[in-house]
Amino acid sequence: MTIFISGKDNLEIKPYLEKLMKRVKAGYCETSQNGGEATIKIGFAGELKSVIEAIDFGKVESSDPAKREIRVTIN
């Protein structure tokens, strides 16, 4: 599953990532970041809805169950 995050230029995703990994009990994680944009790939076989419900660090702008993608904006 891939989560795309947009936010401030100095976006710090580590605290969000740690909380998300604990909530969904994902076993794998890979991240990349460029300024205010970040991509998180997690190993999670469950429903997309479970991850959306676990995201409390921004606004879920869109999701695509077929691609297993979620887009989040952090202000």
Question: Rounded to two decimals, what is the model's pTM?
Answer: 0.90
Q: Residue type at 35?
A: G
pLDDT of the chain along its 75 residues, tens only? 999 999 988 788 888 888 888 899 888 899 999 888 999 999 998 999 999 999 998 999 999 999 999 999 998
Q: Rounded to 5 degrees, what angle do the CA atoms 49, 51, 20 make? A: 165
Q: Scanning the structure block, which residue is given the tokens 């205010």?
A: 36
Inter-residue contact 58 to 75 (CB < 8 Å): yes
CA–CA distance, 73 with 57 (Å, rounded to integer): 9
pLDDT for 26: 87
Q: Scanning the structure block, which residue is given the tokens 């790939």?
A: 41
Inter-residue contact 5 to 39 (CB < 8 Å): yes
